[in-house]
Every structure is written in structure tokens, then in C-alpha cells.
Structure 1
Amino acid sequence: MTVRPFELADIEGVNALHTDIHWPVPSEAQWRWLASNPARGTSPMGWVIDNDGRIDGFLGNFRQRYVRDSTVYEAATGHSIIVSPRAKGSLRELIQPFLGQTDMFAVSIFNANDIGSPIYRHYGLKPFASPVHDVKLAWLLDPSRIFVAKGLRSLGARIPALYPLLGERFLPRTGPVFDPRSMVWPDGVRAIADLSDTSAFGSFWQQLKADGALVVDRSPALMRWRLAMPDLASPPVLLGYYDDQGLCAYAMGQLSKVGPVEVVTLEIIDLIALNRAPASAIPTLIRALKRAGRKMQAAKLRLPVVSAKTHAALGAKASLAHNEGGWGHAFAHFNVPDAGFADWQPTAFEGCYSFTQRQPRR
């Protein structure tokens, strides 16, 4: 049994691991899209546990560029961490090469589940400060559907034989594809459709860098690549908030459905504002996303990674949301003194949420 870098020839074996635990199975096109990551360089896409040709474990490695002032940094986030019962006890060997990427300022995990959360602490990963580490905010859009889904899951837990019979529930009804251009948005909000280098979003990116905080690459070129993800069932919604100088805040929402008896959720993948943005920018974008979520037949809107800066910017909107976190889902291992990165205010865009979520398909 050896741990080695993942190769595209391993797709079948890694996808079998996904199938075994009922996780979404990436298409071959999805794997090749990940391989084309503009920030990947020569970094492995991940590592596998190879047991004489049988793949018994996988840890995905998604590399990203960061900018602060004029300096470019590198970091990576881990995803799709699976160890087969056949390789029980091998997680330490699998995670060591991930932690050993010393050419990066940090490696992180932003989507640990409640089972894996306590394990990562033992392998050199430290939790982010609250709220990043233990808060996920959710605004209910259709409480009745959420209540019914909870009841069905509870029934399935009591009578396991019934669960498979429930099938896929709460899928969006067939109808016109959501078109953000046809929506009436709150004042100041518009749908973002142009991601060319000279677009308003391009200017937003330049000003975001000029604000001086540590920010992940959101250049138009990178955004075009992110939105070309092959396995998307429906395109994400991109909304911008504009002041008299132009685009000053933006949000990205993407539909997800965690399991067959879970409701559809509009996940907030990204939410960030320039320093000059008014206090109303982030709360207004939340209002707009709630409006979009209802139109897209989502039962709730969720912000899965909440930085201290975003939490403060939400204002009263935060108090109206339910916290779905609490077990600790965000960790990092720094290769340099972490005091030098105290201004890191991550969003879900920096994790694996956008490309590992289960997609609701009509």
C-alpha cells in the first residue's frame, strides 16, 4: 500500500470511492477541468492510496493564487477526502503530502463534516477563529418544505428500510430556466453577465486588490474558468451592487442538494465588497439572493463560510439566519507565521463548495 500523486488514469478508482459513500461522482470532463486549473502549475491534483492497483483513498488538492498589495501568494484547499474501510488508519499517510506543500503559505480545509472535523486537529490543521470555523448561516425561504424534509429524514432514520423507497425528493419543478436578466432586483443590484477583462467586474477586481487585504484570485480570466465547470446542472447567479462609481460588491450563488431527501439550497459561494462600498451593499445582496433563491425553487439560502468581516457587514441579516454550523468545518495549516496572514477573510469560493456540491437535476 503506497500513497502517490493522483493521475487521470485513477478516475475510475477514485469515482468508485465516491460511489461507495454516496457522494457526487465527478464526470471525466469535470476531472479534466480540474486538471486545467490555471493556478495548478506542477502541483498534484491530489493523492491516492494505491493498494496494488486498487484505489483505497483519495485527497483532492485545489491550488489557488492570492494577492496582497503587489505580492502573489499560493495556497491550496483539500477536498473529497475519502479513505476506504480497507485502508482504515491510513489518513495520516494520505494527508502528510498535502500538509507538506511548503511552497504555499497555507493549506486549508473549508468543508469538514462533523465526523472528520475532530480528526484534522490531530494532523497539524488548526481551526480558524469563529465565525469562520463554526458558523454557517441559513435563511429559510420555504419553511414548509424544510419541515417535511426533516420529518422524512427522521422517519428514514427510525425505519432504515424505508429510506431507499423515498427516492429523490424536492427537486425543482420543470419550467423556464431561471434568467437573472428578467428579475426585478433591489435598488443598486444588477445581474453580472460580462466577465471580459475590460468589464465592470474587471475594474472591481483591480480595486479589490488595491484595497490591500489578502484576497484570492477573482480575475475575470479565473472567473471565466470557474464558471465553465462541466458538471454544473444550472449556471450560478452572479449579482453586483453598484454605487455612483460602479461595481462595489458582488455575490455568487449556486444551487445544491446535499442528499435525496434534502431540500434544494442556494449556496452563497462568494460574497465580498470593496472598502468604499456602503453599509447597505452586503445586506442588499442577501435580499437579492433570497429573491433569486425563491425564483430558482430553493427552500433556503445558505452562507457556508462566514468571515468576521462578512458577519459584521451582514448587520441585522445575520441575526435573522439560523446557524447550521457548530462542529468546526474550517481549518488551515500555515507554512509561515500565521500572524502575517491575520487579515485573511475567506469565503466559500476559496473552498471546494462550488465544484464538489451535489447538483439538483430536474
Structure 2
Amino acid sequence: MAVRPFDLTDIDGVNALHTDINWPAPSTAYWHWLASNPARGPSPMGWVIDNDGRIDGFLGNFRQTYFRDSVTFDAATSHSIIVSPRAKGSLRELIQPFLAQPDLFAVTILNANDIGSPIYRHYGLQPLASPAHDVKLAWILTPHSVLVAKALRSVAMRMPALYPLLGERFLPRPRPLFDPRRVAWPVGVRVIEDLSDNAAFGTFWRQLKEDGALVAGRSPAILRWRLAMPDLTARPLLLGYYDEQGLCAYAMAQLSKFGPLEVVTLEIIDLVAIERAPDTAIPTLIRALKLAARKMQAAKLRLPLVSAKTHAALGYKAGLAHNEGGWGHAFAHFNAPEAGFKDWQPTPFEGSYSFTLRQPPAQ
């Protein structure tokens, strides 16, 4: 049994691990898309536990470029951490090469589940400060569906034989496709459709960097690459808030359905504003996203990673949401803490949410 870097010949073995724990197995095209990450550099896509040719564990490694003023930094976040019962106790061996990447300012786990959460701090990762570490905000739009789904999951956990009988529940009813161009959005909000380098989003990205905070790369080119993920069943929604000078805040959201007995959720993947944006920008985008979620037949709108800056910008909207966190889902290991990275305010965009969410099955 050995830990080694993942390569594309391991796709079938890693997908088998996904299937073993009832996670959707990504397509071959997905893995090749992930390999084309513009920020990947020399980093491996992850590591596997190779047991004489059989893959018994996987930890994905997703690298991103960060900017502060004119200086660039690199960090990586993990995803799809799976260890087979055949390799029980080998998680440490998978995490060690992830932590040991020498050219990164930090490595993170920003989407930990409640099972893995207590383990990671023992391997050298530290929880981020609250609210980022333990808050997931959810605005419930159809309480009845959420309660029924919770009751069904509770029954199925006690009687696992019911899972195949219950099948995929809470799917949207067939209706004309959602067209964001036909929605009467709140004042100031518009759909972002043009991601060419010289369009409004390109100007927004340059201003975001000029504000001087540590920010993950969100250039139009990076967004075009993200939106080209081949396993998407529906294009993510991009909304912008505009003031008299142009685009000053934006949000990205996409549908998810965590399991057959989960409701459909509109997940906020990114939510960020430049310094000149008015205090109303982020709350207005949340209002627009709630409107979109209803039209897309989602039962709730969720922000799965909430930095202190975002929490403050939400204003009263944060108080209207339910906290679905609490177990601790966001960890980081800083290779150079003295360099002043404590001002970092991560969003879900910097985790694995955009490319690992289980999506509603196509109907």
C-alpha cells in the first residue's frame, strides 16, 4: 500500500470510491476539465492510496491563485476525501503530502462534513475563526418540503431498506425553463452574461484587486473556465449589482441536491463586493437570489461559507436565515502565517463547492 500522486489513469478507481459511498461518480470529461485548471501549476490533482493497483483512497487537490495589490500567492483546497474501509487509518498518509506543498501560502479544507470535522485538527489544520468555521446560512423558502424531507431521511436512517423504494424525491415539477433575462429583478440587479475580458465583469475584477485585500482569482477567464465544467446540468446564475459607476457587487449561485431525499437548494458559490459598493448591494443580491430560487423551484437558498466580512455585509438578512452549520467545516494550514494572511475573508468560491456539488438529476 502506497500513497502517490493521482493521474488520469486512476479515474476508474477513484470513481469506484465515489460509487461505494453513494457519491455521484464524475465523468471522464470532468477529470480532464479539472486537469486543465489554469492555476494548477506544478501541483498534482491529488493523491491516491494505491494498494497493488487497487485505489483505496483519494484526496483531491485544487490550486488557486490569490492577489494582493500587485503580488500573487498560491493556495490549494482539498475535495472528495475518501478512504475505503480496506485502508482504514490511512487518512494521515493522504493528508501529509497535501499539507507539505512548499510553494503555497495555505492549504484548506472548506467543505468538511460532520464525520471528518473532528479529525482534521489532529493532522495540523486549524479551524478558521467563526463565523467562517461553523456557520452555514440557509433561507428557507418552502418549510413544508424541508420538514417532510427531514422526516423521510429520519425514517430511512432507521430502515435503510427504504432508500431504494423511496427513490429520488422533491424534484422540481416540469415547467418552462427558468430564463433569468425575463425576471423583474430588484432595482440595481442585472444578469451577468458577458464574461469577455473587457466587459463590466473585467472592470469589476480589476477594481476588486485594486482594493488591496487578499482575494482569490476571479478573472473573466477563470469564470469562463469554471462555467465550462462538463458535468453541469444547469448553468450557474450570475447576478450583478450596479451603481452609477457600473458593476460593484456580484453573486454566483447554482442548484444542488445533496441526496435522493434532500430538497433542491440554490447554493451561493460566490458573493463579493468592491469597496465603493453601497451597504445595500449584498442584501439586495440576497433578495434577488431568493427570488431566483423560488422561480427555480428550490426549497431554500444557502450560503455554505460565511466570512466575517460577508456576515457584516448581509446586515439584517443574516438574522432571517437558519444556521445549518455548527460542526466545524472550514480549516486551514498556513505555511507562512507571519506574512499577514489573517485578513483573508474566504467565500465558497475558494472551496470545492462549485465543482463537487451533487446536482438535481436532469429530467
| Bin for the TM-score computed over the shorter chain | over 0.9
Counterparts in 2 of 1:193-204, with a 5 A limit? 193-204=193-204
- SS for the counterpart of 1:289 is helix
Q: 1:278: which partner in 2?
A: 278
Q: 1:346: which partner in 2?
A: 346
Q: 1:78: which partner in 2?
A: 78
Superposed displacement of residue 164, structure 1 = 2.1
Superposed displacement of residue 338, structure 1 = 5.4
Q: 2:252: which partner in 1?
A: 252
Q: 2:112: which partner in 1?
A: 112
Matched-pair contact (CA < 8 Å) for 1:138–1:324: yes
Q: Work out the CA distance in 1 between the residues paired with 2:88 and 2:336.
A: 32
Matching of residue 27 in structure 1 with residue 24 in structure 2 = no
Matched-pair contact (CA < 8 Å) for 1:24–1:357: no
Q: 1:223: which partner in 2?
A: 223
- SS for the counterpart of 2:270 is strand
Q: 2:185: which partner in 1?
A: 185
- SS for the counterpart of 1:360 is coil
State the TM-score, normalizing by the size of structure 1.
0.99
Which ranges of structure 2 fall in alignment gaps of 5 or more residues?
Answer: none
Superposed displacement of residue 339, structure 1 = 6.1
Counterparts in 2 of 1:88-167, with a 5 A limit? 88-167=88-167
Matched-pair contact (CA < 8 Å) for 1:6–1:48: yes
Q: Work out the CA distance in 1 between the residues paired with 2:168 and 2:95.
A: 34
Partner deviation per Cα, 1:245-300 (whole Å, 9 max, x = no partner): 00000000100000000000000000000111000000000000000000111000
Partner deviation per Cα, 1:294-342 (whole Å, 9 max, x = no partner): 0111000000000000000001000000000000000000100156111
Which letter maps to 2:213?
Answer: A
Matched-pair contact (CA < 8 Å) for 1:24–1:356: no
- SS for the counterpart of 1:342 is helix
Q: Work out the CA distance in 2 between the residues paired with 1:324 and 1:175.
A: 30
Partner deviation per Cα, 1:21-56 (whole Å, 9 max, x = no partner): 011211000000000000001210000000000000
Which letter maps to 2:44?
Answer: P
> What number of residue pairs does the alignment pair up?
362
Which letter maps to 1:269?
Answer: I
Superposed displacement of residue 157, structure 1 = 2.0
Q: 2:211: which partner in 1?
A: 211
Partner deviation per Cα, 1:158-189 (whole Å, 9 max, x = no partner): 32222221100011222222111111100000
State the TM-score, normalizing by the size of structure 2.
0.99
Q: Work out the CA distance in 2 between the residues paired with 1:149 and 1:274.
A: 38
Which ranges of structure 1 fall in alignment gaps of 5 or more residues?
Answer: none
Q: 2:172: which partner in 1?
A: 172
Q: Superposition RMSD on alpha carbons, in Å?
A: 0.8
Deviates further, 153-162 or 235-244: 153-162
